[in-house]
Each structure stands twice: as structure tokens, then as C-alpha cells.
């Protein structure tokens, strides 16, 4: 079913792994160690000059960026359209949620969290405020809704955002202040195939992360 170059702690990589599990397909996992700069080796740069993970190699076809990889896998292997609806309007909402996750939710969390963890910089109050504004938007998405794209079943948008929220949780963020998110996320833990990949990430984060302040 293809090779997946990945870093276990990466939420985009976990998104691909959970999507593959939802499709009941098995990918050959090839772990990349960024601390040993394996992502900068010539053999990897030949696959992805952006030197990022995940990277999917399916025969002679190479694709990077997690969400396009997931869409490719769904369109190739899915037996129905529940994960990624064919209806133009329903698909548009799923796409909007995917882009919201990529460009707003995950981005704003990363801008607040990773400088503290990787560079030992002090917490930035404005970046925390920006991240929490994104969380409030997600809370509205889930108002009286079971799934983030207002569908009857779990979609790729739910898996994508759940991977991000899991990283927030592992980073010490208190989700209980957002009741809609908390209820949805608790459900996702029980219904999302392949959720165990997040447990491995949790173990890895304990080895290097520090306690991050969210009360500024």
C-alpha cells in the first residue's frame, strides 16, 4: 500500500496513520529521526526537497503534505464517500475545516507552544490569545453538532482536527473549558480507528517537553 516516512510525535503524520486505519489499509512505516537530521539526507531530499514529514511513496508516485496524502488515499482506497463526501457543498465544508486546521488552529498552537519547548523562550501572551481565538471558532463549529463539518459520520476533517487537539492535550492544554470540543474529542478517542498512534506520541513527548503555562 506504499511507504510512509513519518515522525511518530508529529500530528500530521498521525493524521495519515489514522486515515489509513479508517480505510483499513496497511502502510509500510519508515521512521525519520529529525534529531539525527535524517530528513536532510540526500536520499530523503530527493523524495521531498522541503525536508518535511509525512511523505508517501506509492510505487513511483511521491506525495508530501499530510492532507493531500489523506485525500489521495481516500480517493484511491475508500469504498464510500463518508470520510470525504462527493457532494460539492458537503465536501467544501470538509475542505474548509481542513484548511482551518492547517492554517489557523494547528499553526497558532505551534506558534505559541514550540518556541517554549524547542527554544526555551518565555510564553507569549498575544500568541496564546490568538490560539484561544481559534479554539473558540472550533467550539462554534461543534455547537449542537456531532462532527466538525456538520456531517452524520466522521470525516477526514474530524481526524485532522482530532490529531491537532491531541497534540494540544499532550502539550498540557486544558480542553475542559470548551465543552463542545471536549465532548467531541472524548468521542473521537473511542470511534477513530488507529487512535493508539497518539499513545506512542504521548510517551515520546514526556521525554522532552516542559510544562507550558496557559494562564497568562
How far apart CA 122 and CA 142 sit, in angstroms, is: 32
Told to judge if 11 belongs to the known catalytic residues of this protein, a careful annotator would answer no
22 contacts 194 by C-beta, under 8 angstroms: yes
- pLDDT for res 193: 98
- pLDDT for res 31: 97
> In this model, does residue 177 exceed pLDDT 90?
yes
> In this model, does residue 212 exceed pLDDT 80?
no
Give the single-character DSSP code of 161.
H
How far apart CA 139 and CA 144 sit, in angstroms, is: 10
Pairing mode, if any, of strands 61-64 and 55-58?
antiparallel
Task: List helix spans (H) across the chain.
Answer: 11-22, 42-47, 66-77, 88-100, 106-118, 125-141, 156-170, 179-191, 196-208
Q: Which residues pair with 28 in a beta bridge?
A: 3
pLDDT tens, position by position, 46-99:
999 999 999 999 999 999 999 999 999 999 999 999 999 999 999 999 999 999
The grid coordinates of residue 23 equal 480505510
- pLDDT for res 107: 98
State the CB neighbour count (10 A cutoff) for residue 180: 16
Choice among 10, 11, 66, 160 that is catalytic: 10
Give, to the nearest 10 degrees, the angle between helix 179-191 and helix 156-170. Answer: 110
Q: What percent of the chain has pLDDT over 70?
A: 95
Amino acid at each position: 500500500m506504499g511507504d510512509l516516512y513519518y515522525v511518530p510525535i508529529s500530528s500530521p503524520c498521525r493524521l495519515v496513520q489514522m486515515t489509513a486505519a479508517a480505510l483499513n489499509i496497511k502502510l509500510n512505516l519508515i521512521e525519520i529521526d529529525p534529531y539525527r537530521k535524517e530528513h536532510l539526507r540526500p536520499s530523503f531530499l530527493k523524495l521531498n526537497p522541503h525536508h518535511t514529514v509525512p511523505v508517501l511513496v506509492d510505487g513511483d508516485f511521491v506525495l508530501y503534505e499530510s492532507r493531500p496524502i489523506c485525500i489521495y488515499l481516500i480517493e484511491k482506497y475508500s469504498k464510500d464517500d463518508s470520510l470525504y463526501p462527493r457532494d460539492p457543498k458537503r465536501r467544501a465544508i470538509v475542505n474548509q475545516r481542513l484548511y482551518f486546521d492547517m492554517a489557523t488552529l494547528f499553526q497558532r498552537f505551534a506558534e505559541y507552544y514550540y518556541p517554549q519547548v524547542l527554544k526555551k523562550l518565555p510564553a507569549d501572551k498575544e500568541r496564546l490569545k490568538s490560539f484561544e481565538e481559534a479554539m473558540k471558532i472550533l467550539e462554534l463549529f461543534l455547537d449542537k453538532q456531532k462532527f466538525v463539518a456538520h456531517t452524520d459520520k466522521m470525516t477526514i476533517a474530524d481526524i485532522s482536527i482530532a490529531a491537532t487537539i491531541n497534540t494540544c492535550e499532550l502539550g498540557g492544554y486544558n480542553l475542559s473549558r470548551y465543552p463542545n470540543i471536549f465532548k467531541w474529542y472524548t468521542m473521537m478517542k473511542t470511534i477513530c480507528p488507529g487512535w493508539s498512534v497518539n499513545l506512542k506520541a504521548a510517551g515520546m513527548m514526556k521525554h522532552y517537553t516542559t510544562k507550558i503555562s496557559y494562564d497568562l
